[in-house]
Amino acid sequence: MRRTVKTEKKPIKLWLEDMDSGAMEQARNLANLPFIHRHIAIMPDAHLGYGMPIGGVMATDGVVIPNAVGVDIGCGMCAQQTSLRSLSSEKLKALLVHIRKTIPLGFKHHKKGQDRHLMPRAKGNIPIEDLPIVSRQYESGRTQLGTLGGGNHFIEIQKGSDGYIWIMIHSGSRNLGYRVANFYNKLAGRISGRFAATVPKNWQLAFLPVESEEGRQYLLEMEYCVDFAYANRKLMMERVKDGLLMIAAPVHFGQFINIAHNYASLETHFHKDVLVHRKGATRAREGEIGIIPGSQGTPSYLVRGKGNKESFESCSHGAGRKMGRRQAQRSLDLHVEQKRLEDQGILHAIRSRRDLDEAAGAYKNIDEVVENQLDLVEVIVTLKPLAVVKG
């Protein structure tokens, strides 16, 4: 931990020295909410979000805040080691062709719905019909299952410091999570006035009591979206593996590692049962394996959690942006960013100026981000990119 801010009702504990003023204002708003437990934790990749900074961790007593989970519910990472120790440029290119043929990118969906058995079940075998937003979006969700999405989502083929080729995927719950998030955030805004706690509307932190019908319903639909995002990553991973088997068999695969970084979960911290909101933050319990991805063209890291109580057993979810998307497109040099990747021999996705929002220059230095949280995690494998597919 780098510093603690003690000027608000609850302390703000930061794992970075400097944070942009907008994100700091959001952190101060969180620290002044009446139902916050203990303190606010801000991870080293933190930057401005909606209502709550991306890279923020907050524990609440009795309420859930949809905007503190975000619109891409269950977004997260998965990674899998292969038995391969190298891949030629020709085989990498063939694999990228296979990925683009079998996994829709950006706003694209499958033309037909995927098999129903690939869709998750609701918790406790609750009928899907009892989840109003999920049931309304269920058939559309079948066409989104196994699709990457856009923004900072990616599929990357990497070489690990352990000597093996790895596959890593970053994606979320697609339009399903977006619809659930928006519905309940608007609902929270309409009904928050029923309750005694005062939260200014401009903070964008409308809440639902967890014991209310609306709060219980949100948590059930949120959990479904987390499971859908997992199923989405799992299906994409299977299709990438199919491609590898076609071009480089025999190939064996290690443990499937999966972690989410946008969700809320009931946990016990400092002797109290609370709802921990992680928005762009990864759980890092003692011994737990996590993934901290870099930006396009920089290393990613497999890490082992240390169970640090002060961060509510959490760590960063990536490098974190240092400039907005439009700012990056306006200010970064296309040829410099392309050369940065090409000099490393990376098959990349920076084709035009519009792609600069996802260039390495738009992100913080991943090595500094990792260095700032060595009290939260230890690095176990460093993964360097060989080829990148973006939405």
- pLDDT for 193: 67
Q: Which of 55-59, 177-181, 190-194, 381-385 has the lowest mean pLDDT?
A: 190-194
pTM confidence score: 0.96
Tell me the average pLDDT across 206-225: 96
Residue 157 lies in a domain: yes
* Least confident piece of the model among 11-20, 196-205, 234-243, 288-297: 196-205
| pLDDT recorded at residue 195 | 58
pLDDT of residue 199: 86
Look at residue 125 in the predicted model and tell me its pLDDT.
Answer: 85
Residues in the chain: 391
Does a structural domain hold residue 381? yes
Q: Which two tokens stand for residue 384?
A: 């360097």
* Residue predicted with more confidence, 193 or 246: 246
Assess if residue 339 is contained within a domain.
no
pLDDT at residue 252, rounded to an integer: 98
Structure tokens at 157: 């083929």
Task: Dump pLDDT digits (tens) for 80-116.
Answer: 999 999 999 999 999 999 999 999 999 999 999 999 9
Q: What is the average pLDDT across 14-25?
A: 96
Per-residue confidence (pLDDT) for residue 197, from 0 to 100:
56
Q: Residue 59 forms beta bridges with which residues?
A: 276
Q: Look up 269 and say whether it is catalytic.
A: no
- Bridge partners of residue 264, in order along the sequence: 277
| CB contact burial 149-181 (16+ within 10 A = b; e otherwise) | bebbbbbbbbbbeeebbbbbbbbbbbbbbbbbb
The domain of 208 spans 3-322+363-390
Of residues 109, 170, 317, 348, which has the active-site annotation? Answer: 317
Q: What three-state secondary structure class fits 337?
A: helix
pLDDT in tens, 178-201: 999 999 999 999 887 665 457 888
Across residues 194-216, what is the average pLDDT?
Answer: 86
Q: What is the mean pLDDT of residues 302-314?
A: 98
User: Is residue 357 included in any domain, yes or no?
Assistant: no
Mean pLDDT, the chain, rounded, equals: 96
What's the rounded mean pLDDT across residues 321-340?
94
335 located within any domain:
no
Mean pLDDT of 232-242: 98
Beta-carbon contacts of residue 360 (< 8 Å; ≥ 6 apart): 294, 295, 296, 297, 298, 337, 340, 341
Residue 351 covered by a domain: no
Task: Please report which confidence band the pLDDT of residue 25 belongs to, taking 50, 70 and 90 as the band edges.
Answer: very high
58 within a domain of the structure (yes/no)? yes
Q: How many domains does the chain have?
A: 1
CATH number for the domain that contains residue 88: 3.90.1860.10
Q: Is residue 350 part of a domain?
A: no
The H-or-E segment that residue 218 falls in is helix 213-248
- At 349-364, the pLDDT tens digits run 899 999 999 999 999 9
